[in-house]
């Protein structure tokens, strides 16, 4: 075996990782043990191998001792494989002669017995030493990166990412599911802690998206298929019909005025059902694109075909209304994708003890945003569902957050927006306002100052999780009120507080179809359903799929400043890829030994990435090296064993197994 | 019919009366037996049953409580019954708790099993503890019940009161926050139910006997709120709830000067009467409060009329 691979000279390096490894594994003993193994020329232990001097140590040894294989026993290859491969390349050794042994996550972090852990580390190193003998020199494949970008989701995250990229001269496709861009931010009245009007800062950005020559905006559309790989994604977008021809519509909205329904009659989604709309409608006055759409569930023409079609008459010669419009499929090619699909507000019906849906005067925070909004259903007049004006308001924090029964995480924005709503409600109604909180969390620029301001405005803060909102009255003062029963944990007593209006500060949670979306795009999700970043600290906008980045609340709860910052970061990561112009692919791909392939085609349908094909001329299978992700499915499926995989060759795997099982 | 025969017929049920149904809750047992007879479902008493192990035992010695409870489950096992009906909410809870704790804590299971084995009794799991409300709702079904109704509802509006133990912490009987199954069954026989926010709040439990004022105050809150919502009677699924709400109304009247006099019924009584049951056999004469109303709502002399 050694003959085939020349004279093998292995260097073994055992890392202490400070005390992370050294506290449990006797690193010196492991290094000494490795020194006695066949083919090992040098073996050392070192405090931090990933440090510059650590890497230099390896480079110097390669030069001094003519090492041609390197085994590093340290952390997970996820973390530092790249580091050590680069170090070896610096000394002229092919990167794929380096192999890592994970004695941290797989050993020191999960064991307590020092003697057994050291023995295990020795076994692991022995396996790697035997494996690395069979390693070969491999070359990375360079693939060009398509310069266009797909941004999924048109909330503030998607808008900011799209504009950043477009301003840098890149062509962007922005796909939004709703009929307008703007997302949740468009629904807000004012933004904390500065109280600047959300619409005033958002709508100009929305208009720039529409007007920007580099942005193709597809609202009311869904991504239906994603194929390909970093730099070369092929995406299919389905444009749902609005029944308005976008090229012909001038956005005059006369059709809405002319609808046979003289008064708006149907639940208005944008205003959380607090307002009404017609079957032909525009979600809100500043919607982008500025054009109506028809709801086929309420439009008489769609329901019976017997409408006078006054809307069509109003449209006149423009002929923009098209009842026969069908879904259109668009196919695009992009190099990178930014996911900015946002969040879903917690459904308050899941906490039945707060009476949402039972008592009409219990509102969610999003509903109150619309209620206090000057362009909302009541033009900013805070009137309850029963027509009264509230004299007392209870705001319950952490509904669907920090709760074992629903969602365990803190939604980060609720404390601040509750304070903001308390301020706005006080301003609009001069009502007495009670905040019920677990902890007030104000860790942002200007946030604590805003909290202090609220305290001085005379808003009450009661520390305690509300047990229930109920309408049973103990005495006349509670008649026709909603009673909040709560343990005031500062007073140490149970209180009943009667109010006219209850606001539930609902938390942020992933979209219901977040799992479907991440499967469609093929990247990871955390256990709670938020999209998973590659590294929580050092790669916060990358995903485990190269070329796909995340921004905004789809990755986890965050406020507007953080969302915009993250969107900018995602755009910068995409730009870095585009401007490099190519990506290098790991050579851990499968390949066919043509002489042995019988052409049975078993492998072809097995490949999840459509990388395996059948060559009709040679009657042999072949594998696209750029499409192959190295999953090994075809390797295992091949009945004649004629598909092999770089870095997972049979002799490498068997030597490794024998190595770990051999008692030395 | 022997318990073995009942268990073998797919429709038959084994039931565990517990102490309440032989004392303050006699009407509950009477109406349950009568209702099952009217539905033509065999109902057989668990032979040689003993105390379920609830309240007093559970807070003094959990081990003894689990063993008492497990003996009943084990007896059900010996007659090969799949289900064991526990009409009393306290029995229901402690039987379920025993199975749950034994499943989660092997130590408890071993202890209980060893003790049972010394008495020559088989293991105690494998029997499903059921409450009649959930059993009527799921096994008999609303449609069957509805099709058997032969008396028109002549009473007023009702507040359905579920109490704490049947719906907490286990949610098989119904959800803990806004249970509706009893409401639905009563609506099916024509009785209008009110929206009653206190349907799973505390009835006072054993406090009426220990810290009397607190227990009675809790009763007062329940009664007053039911009246405020327009209910003329409260219907329960638990013998302790029924007793607490029924027994202290005279005392409450005296203390508050409020004219509270409200019938407190078992859901089996209301269902049984709708299905044509005899008021006396349903124990409707045993109520303490609201006797006039009970007489008006459930007349004995009334011929069974076809319900259209």
Over residues B11-56, the pLDDT tens digits come to 789 999 999 999 999 999 999 999 999 999 999 999 999 999 987 7
Q: Of A96, A252, A214, A179, nearest to A587 (Cα)?
A: A96
**Environment class of A294 (CB within 10 Å of its CB; exposed 0-12, middle 13-18, buried 19+):** buried
From the list A66, A65, A83, the residue with the least C-alpha distance to A74 is A83
Residues A584 and A577: beta-carbon distance below 8 Å: no
Residue B308: the pLDDT is 42
Inter-residue contact B189 to B149 (CB < 8 Å): yes
Has residue B302 got a pLDDT over 70? Answer: no
Residues of A whose CB is below 8 A from B198: 470, 472
What is the three-class DSSP state of B93?
Answer: helix
- From the list B175, B197, B228, which residue is nearest A470 (CB)? B197
Confidence of residue A34 (pLDDT cuts 50, 70, 90): very high
Give dist(CA B266, CA A419) in Å, integer: 48
Q: Are residues A472 and B198, on separate chains, in Cβ contact within 8 Å?
A: yes
C-alpha A507/C-alpha A504 separation (Å) is: 9
pLDDT digits (tens, 9 = 90+) for A533-574: 988 999 999 998 889 999 999 999 999 999 999 999 999 999
Q: Looking at beta carbons, which residues of chain A come within 8 Å of B226?
A: none
> Do A472 and B225 make contact, defined as CB atoms within 8 angstroms?
yes
| Region B182-195 average pLDDT | 96
Round to whole Å and give the CA distance between A56 and A51: 9
Q: Which of B177, B198, B228 minimises the CB distance to A353?
A: B177
| Residue spans of alpha helices (H) in A14-51 | 27-35
Q: Provide residues of B within 8 Å CB-CB of chain A.
A: 175, 177-178, 195, 197-198, 221, 225, 228
What mean pLDDT do residues A170-180 have? 97
Q: Of B286, B249, B250, nearest to B268 (Cα)?
A: B286
Structure tokens at B32: 């349950």
As a whole number of Å, the CA-based R_g of chain A is: 31
User: Residue A584's pLDDT is what?
Assistant: 87
Average pLDDT over chain B, rounded to an integer = 92
| Cβ atoms of A111 and A20 closer than 8 Å | no
Q: Nearest residue on chain A to B225, judged by CA atoms?
A: A472
Cβ contact A73:A58 at 8 Å: no
Mark yes or no for CB contact A471/B197 under 8 Å. Answer: yes
* Interface contact flag, B177 A352, Cβ < 8 Å: yes
* A474 CB within 8 Å of a chain B CB: yes
In chain B, residues with a C-beta closer than 8 Å to the C-beta of A474 are 221
| B-contacting residues in A 351-370 (Cβ below 8 Å) | 352-353, 358
B249-256 helix and B212-228 helix, angle to the nearest 10 degrees: 80
Predicted confidence band of residue A3 (pLDDT cuts 50, 70, 90)? very low
How big is the A-B interface in CB pairs under 8 Å? 17
Q: What is the chain B residue with the closest CA to A351?
A: B177
Residue B65: which of B88, B89, B99, B26 has the closest Cα? B99
CA distance B24 to chain A (A): 29
Whether A473 and B228 lie within 8 Å, measured CB to CB: yes
Contact B175 A353 (CB under 8 A): no
CA distance B142 to B149: 11
Pick from B177, B178, B195 the residue to mutate for testing the A interface (most A CBs within 10 Å).
Answer: B177
A472 and B177 within 8 Å at the Cβ level: the answer is no
Nearest CA in chain B to A474: B221
- Which residues lie closer than 8 Å to B52 by C-beta, 6 or more apart? B16, B18, B19, B68, B69, B72, B86, B88, B90, B91, B94, B95
Give pLDDT tens digits for A209-266. Answer: 999 999 999 999 999 999 888 899 999 999 999 999 999 999 999 999 999 999 999 9
A370 contacts A274 by C-beta, under 8 angstroms: yes
Model confidence over B159-183: pLDDT tens digits? Answer: 999 999 999 999 999 999 889 999 9
> Considering only alpha carbons, which residue of chain B is nearest residue A470?
B197
Report pLDDT for B5: 63
Instruction: Kindly list the residues from chain B whose CB atom is less than 8 angstroms away from the CB atom of residue A471.
Output: 197
A549 near A337, Cβ under 8 Å?
A: yes
Mean pLDDT across B228-243: 96
Nearest CA in chain B to A354: B177
Asked if the Cβ–Cβ distance from B228 to A470 is below 8 Å, we say no
Closest alpha carbon within chain A to B222: A472
* A434 DSSP 8-state letter: E
Partners of B197 on chain A (C-beta within 8 Å) are 470-472
Whether A406 has its CB under 8 Å from any CB of chain B: the answer is no
Token representation of residue A556: 């986890």
Closest CA to B46 of B89, B91, B10, B98: B91
Q: Which residues of chain A are within 8 Å of residue B175 when distances are taken between CB atoms?
A: 352
Contact with chain B for residue A472, Cβ under 8 A: yes
Contact A352 B225 (CB under 8 A): no
- Chain A residue closest in CA terms to B179: A352
| B225:A358 CB<8 A | no
* A352 neighbourhood in chain B, CB within 8 Å: 175, 177-178
Q: What is the model's pLDDT at position B73?
A: 95
The separation between the first and the last C-alpha atoms of chain A, rounded to the nearest angstrom, is 20
For residue A403, give Cα distances in angstroms to A55, A351, A411, A512.
Answer: 47, 10, 11, 19
Choosing among A348, A350, A406, A472, which should be mutated to test the B contact, i.e. which has the most B CBs within 10 A? A472
Please tell me the distance from the alpha carbon of residue A349 to that of residue A355, in angstroms, as a whole number.
8
CB contact under 8 A, B221 and A473: no
Least Cα separation, residue B55 to chain A (angstroms): 25
pLDDT at residue A634, rounded to an integer = 95
User: A287's torsion region: left (phi>0), alpha (psi -120 to 50) or beta?
Assistant: beta
DSSP string, A64-78: HHT--EEEEEES-HH
Q: Is A474 in Cβ contact with B177 (below 8 Å)?
A: no
| Sign for the pseudo-dihedral over CA of A369, A375, A377, A380 | positive
Chain B residue closest in CA terms to A482: B197
Alpha carbons A215 and A18: distance in angstroms, whole number: 49
Residue B291 has a CB neighbour count (10 Å cut-off) of: 14
Q: What are the chain A neighbours of B178 within 8 Å (beta carbons)? A: 352, 358
A50 Rama sector, left if φ>0, alpha if ψ -120 to 50, beta otherwise: alpha
Instruction: Name the residue among A203, A237, A141, A99 with its Cα closest to residue A659.
Output: A99
Compute the average pLDDT of residues A517-524: 91
CB-based contact B86:B34 (threshold 8 Å) = no
Whether the CB of A470 is below 8 Å from some CB of chain B: the reply is yes
Torsional class of A583: left (φ above 0), alpha (ψ -120 to 50), beta (otherwise): beta
A460-485 pLDDT, tens digit each = 999 999 999 999 988 899 999 999 99
CA trace torsion B66, B71, B72, B73 (10° rounding) = 80
Collect all residues of chain A within an 8 Å Cβ-Cβ radius of residue B195: 358
A476 token code pair: 């006349």
- Global pTM reads 0.82
Please answer yes or no on whether B197 and A474 come within 8 Å at the CB atom: no
Query: How near does any CA of chain B get to the CA of A352, in Å?
Result: 6
| Paired strand residues for B193 | B158
CA distance A528 to A512: 11
Q: Is the pLDDT of residue B135 over 80?
A: yes
Q: What is the residue whose two structure tokens read 């289900």?
A: B83
Residue contact B178–A352, C-beta within 8 A: yes
């Amino acid at each position: 075996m050694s003959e085939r691979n020349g004279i093998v000279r292995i260097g073994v390096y055992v890392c202490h990782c400070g005390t992370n490894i050294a506290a449990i594994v006797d690193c010196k003993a492991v290094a000494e043990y490795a020194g006695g193994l066949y083919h090992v020329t040098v073996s050392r232990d070192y405090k931090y191998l990933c440090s510059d001097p650590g890497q230099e140590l390896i480079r110097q040894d390669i030069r001094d001792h003519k090492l041609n294989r390197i085994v590093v026993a340290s952390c997970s290859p996820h973390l530092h494989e790249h580091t050590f491969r680069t170090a070896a390349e610096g000394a002229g050794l092919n990167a794929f002669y380096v192999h890592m042994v994970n004695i941290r996550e797989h050993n020191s972090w999960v064991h307590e017995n020092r003697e057994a852990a050291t023995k295990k580390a020795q076994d692991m190193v022995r396996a790697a030493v035997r494996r690395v003998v069979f390693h070969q020199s491999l070359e990375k494949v360079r693939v060009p990166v398509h310069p266009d970008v797909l941004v999924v989701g048109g909330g503030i995250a998607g808008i900011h990412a799209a504009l950043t990229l477009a301003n840098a001269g890149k062509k962007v496709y922005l796909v939004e599911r709703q009929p307008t861009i703007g997302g949740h931010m468009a629904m807000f009245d004012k933004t904390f802690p500065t109280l600047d009007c959300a619409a005033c800062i958002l709508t100009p950005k929305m208009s720039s998206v529409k007007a920007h020559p580099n942005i193709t905006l597809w609202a009311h559309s869904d991504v239906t298929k994603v194929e390909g790989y970093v730099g070369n994604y092929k995406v299919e977008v389905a444009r749902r019909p609005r029944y308005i021809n976008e090229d012909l519509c001038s956005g005059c909205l006369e059709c809405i005025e002319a609808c046979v329904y003289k008064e708006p009659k149907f639940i208005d989604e944008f205003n959380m059902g607090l307002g009404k709309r017609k079957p032909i409608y525009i979600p809100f006055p500043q919607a982008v694109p500025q054009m109506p759409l028809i709801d086929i569930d309420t439009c008489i023409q769609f329901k019976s075909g017997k409408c006078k079609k006054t809307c069509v008459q109003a449209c006149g010669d423009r002929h923009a209304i098209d009842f026969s419009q069908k879904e259109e499929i668009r196919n695009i090619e992009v190099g990178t994708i930014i996911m900015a699909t946002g969040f879903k507000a917690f459904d308050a019906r899941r906490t039945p003890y707060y009476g949402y849906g039972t008592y009409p005067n219990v509102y969610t925070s999003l509903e109150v945003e619309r209620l206090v909004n000057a362009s909302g259903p009541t033009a900013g007049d805070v009137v309850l569902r029963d027509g009264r004006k509230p004299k007392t308001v209870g705001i319950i924090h952490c509904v669907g957050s920090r709760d074992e029964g629903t969602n365990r995480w803190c939604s980060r924005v609720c404390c601040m927006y509750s304070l903001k709503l308390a301020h706005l409600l006080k301003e609009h109604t001069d009502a007495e306002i009670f905040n019920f909180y677990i902890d007030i969390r104000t860790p942002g620029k200007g946030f604590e100052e805003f909290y202090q301001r609220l305290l001085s405005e005379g808003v009450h803060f009661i520390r305690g999780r509300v047990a229930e909102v109920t309408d049973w009255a103990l005495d006349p003062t509670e008649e026709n009120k909603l009673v909040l029963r709560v343990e005031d944990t500062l007073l140490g007593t149970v209180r009943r507080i009667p109010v006219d209006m209850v606001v539930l500060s609902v938390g942020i949670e992933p979209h219901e179809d977040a799992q479907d979306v991440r499967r469609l795009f093929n990247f990871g999700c955390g256990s709670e359903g938020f999209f998973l970043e590659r590294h929580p600290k050092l790669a916060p906008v990358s995903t485990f799929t190269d070329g796909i980045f995340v921004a905004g609340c789809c990755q986890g709860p965050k406020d507007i400043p953080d969302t915009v910052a993250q969107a900018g970061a995602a755009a910068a990561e995409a730009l870095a890829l585009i401007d490099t112009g190519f990506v290098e692919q790991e050579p851990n791909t499968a390949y066919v030994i043509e002489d042995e392939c019988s052409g049975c085609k078993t492998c072809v349908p097995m490949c999840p990435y459509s990388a395996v094909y059948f060559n009709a001329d040679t009657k042999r299978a072949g594998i696209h090296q750029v499409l192959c992700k190295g999953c090994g499915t075809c390797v295992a499926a091949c009945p004649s064993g004629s598909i092999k995989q770089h870095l997972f060759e049979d002799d490498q795997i068997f030597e490794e197994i024998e190595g770990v099982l051999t008692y030395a | 019919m022997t318990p073995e025969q009942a268990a073998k017929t797919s429709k038959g049920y084994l039931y565990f009366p517990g102490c309440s149904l032989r004392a303050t809750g006699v009407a509950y047992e009477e109406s349950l037996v009568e209702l099952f007879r009217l539905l033509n479902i065999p109902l057989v008493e668990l032979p040689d049953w003993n105390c379920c192990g609830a309240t007093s035992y559970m807070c003094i010695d959990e081990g003894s409580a689990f063993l008492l409870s497990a003996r009943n489950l084990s007896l059900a096992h010996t007659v090969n019954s799949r289900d064991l009906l526990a009409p009393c909410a306290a029995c229901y809870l402690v039987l379920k708790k025993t199975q749950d704790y034994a499943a989660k804590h092997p130590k408890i299971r071993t202890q209980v099993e060893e003790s049972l084995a010394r008495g020559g009794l088989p293991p105690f799991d494998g029997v499903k503890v059921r409450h009649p409300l959930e059993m009527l709702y799921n096994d008999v079904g609303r449609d069957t019940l509805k099709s058997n109704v032969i008396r028109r509802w002549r009473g007023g509006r009702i507040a359905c009161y579920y109490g704490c133990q049947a719906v907490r912490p286990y949610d098989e009987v119904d959800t803990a926050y806004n249970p509706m199954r009893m409401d639905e069954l009563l609506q099916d026989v024509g009785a209008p139910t009110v929206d009653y926010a206190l349907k799973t709040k505390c009835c006072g439990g054993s406090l009426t006997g220990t810290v009397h004022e607190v227990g009675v105050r809790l009763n007062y809150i329940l009664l007053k709120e039911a009246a405020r919502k327009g209910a003329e009677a409260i219907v329960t699924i638990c013998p302790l709830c029924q007793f607490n709400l029924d027994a202290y109304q005279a005392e409450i009247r005296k203390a508050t000067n409020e004219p509270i006099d409200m019938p407190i019924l078992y859901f089996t009584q209301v269902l049984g009467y709708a299905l044509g049951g005899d008021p006396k056999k349903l124990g409707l004469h045993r109520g303490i409060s609201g006797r006039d109303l009970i007489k008006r709502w459930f007349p004995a002399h009334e011929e069974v009329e076809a319900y259209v």
